Amino acid sequence: MENIQLTGTARTEAQGTSGTRKAGRLQATLLVAGSCMPVLGAVLLAPILPTLSRVFADTPGVAILVPLTLTLPALFVALFSPLAGYVADRVGRKQLLVFAMIAYAVFGTAPLWLDTLESIAISRVGVGIAEAAIMTCCTTLITDYYAGEQRNKYLGLQTMVSALAATAFFALGGALGSISWRTPFWLYAVSAVIVIPMIVKLWEPAKTLAPTAAKTPLPWRQIGAPAAVTLFGGIVFYALIVHLPYVITGLGVADAALIGLAAAIASLATAAGAISFRFLAKLGTRNLLALAFGLAAVGLSLVSVAGNVPLAIAGAVIASAGTGVLLPTLLTWAVNGLEFQQRGRGTGIWTGTLFIGQFLTPIVLGAAAAAAGSLSLALGGLGIACAVALLAVLVRGPRMVPVGG
């Protein structure tokens, strides 16, 4: 079955390159840069949330609306990614990507002129819908343009750059927020700059197949398992991104610079894990998932029992290296074997489940911490869940090798 799937993938790759056009580093750079837009939306505003609470203190429901300005985009990425995938298969990837990049700039910068917290929250819904299309189209085009080792390389690079961008955007948001609470919103205009070379240098692969896409059903049995694992994997991936600062603070550290350094070190470990994916891909999906969940189990357990900052950071590094391998492994498992006409929807479903995991992370761990009595115990419980996932993968895991055709 695996050979049949890879042959189909290879065939659609040949169609997707459309004539003599061959994607290179420039196209990969543009698509990876586009993939950073959802990261920008997720972390940029975190440093200014306390400022927003003060500025809009007289607004009813401010305690709910301010956090929602940060989390609403992730929710709408989760909800709209499958629809974005359907549209990408139906009308084309590039056309939707260009429209979404422009919409992202419009909705992202809207708070520069909006004066109410409610209207700002509504603009964030638009950001999330645009992000759903951007992430789905960029990832789908990577799988359309590249195959085999090149595909693995750029999918790993996508995760690596996103992890590094999260750290950079968090610091940049804090620096710009010190000028004015509105200033960070100017950064959303970067998509209007990136879209210009996208219009010139990207192309629509196998465009003649797009109108028949909706008639090609998705192989749900094939994509269902990676989507379900990705929902859990999303929670594991974002657990320390969201909660490591609280762990470090709980160990008696009040220095924001040290807390930021811990987060940056963990991000670098995620990046290292992601970039290693291209070299580890030959191990196969099952072994890679086992490695990723094993590292996450060990790392989260160390963070859970850490009585000092160095041990907590060591645990975070181990867990983050595992999650860096995890994301490109899950994505490759989900899309390998899909025909060209199915990839947009397949990628959209995968992206949606990942962002549902992101949205659920603080809810799940918050509830677990309340039930267990501490955040450390909740993270330890997640580590145990990763160990169970490791055993499940070894017993019933996928056999398909995650190397594109």
The structural domains of the chain, with segments of one domain joined by +, span: 17-205, 218-405
pLDDT digits (tens, 9 = 90+) for 96-129: 999 999 999 999 999 999 999 999 999 999 999 9
E strand or H helix that includes residue 235: helix 220-250
pLDDT of residue 223: 83
pLDDT of residue 290: 94
Q: What is the mean pLDDT of residues 83-101?
A: 92
Buried b (16+ CB within 10 A) or exposed e, 80-89: bbbbbbbbbb
The radius of gyration computed from the CA coordinates of the chain, to the nearest angstrom, equals: 21
Query: What is the rounded distance in angstroms from the CA atom of residue 10 to the CA atom of residue 25?
Result: 20
Query: What is the rounded distance in angstroms from the CA atom of residue 386 to the CA atom of residue 397?
Result: 14
pLDDT of residue 355: 87
pLDDT digits (tens, 9 = 90+) for 41-70: 777 777 787 788 888 988 888 877 887 787
How many other CB atoms are there within 10 angstroms of residue 19's CB atom? 6
First to last CA, the chain: 13
pLDDT digits (tens, 9 = 90+) for 296-342: 999 999 999 998 999 999 999 999 999 999 988 998 888 877 777 78
pLDDT of residue 208: 44
Query: What is the rounded distance in angstroms from the CA atom of residue 195 to the CA atom of residue 100?
Result: 9
Distances (CA, A) of 73 to 110, 152, 289, 381: 14, 28, 28, 28
**Which of the pair, 110 or 267, is modelled with greater confidence?**
110
What confidence category does residue 241 fall into, taking pLDDT thresholds of 50, 70 and 90? confident
Spatial neighbors of 169 by CB under 8 A, at least 6 apart, are: 39, 40, 43, 44, 187
User: CB of 127 within 8 A of CB of 235?
Assistant: no
- Write down the mean pLDDT value for the chain: 84
Most confident segment among 95-99, 234-238, 259-263: 95-99
Query: What is the rounded distance in angstroms from the CA atom of residue 281 to the CA atom of residue 286?
Result: 10
Domain topology for 218-405:
Growth Hormone; Chain: A; (1.20.1250)
Residue 47: name the closest of 169, 132, 194 by CA: 169
Query: What is the rounded distance in angstroms from the CA atom of residue 48 to the CA atom of residue 25?
Result: 35
The CATH number of the domain covering residues in 17-205: 1.20.1250.20
pLDDT of residue 215: 59
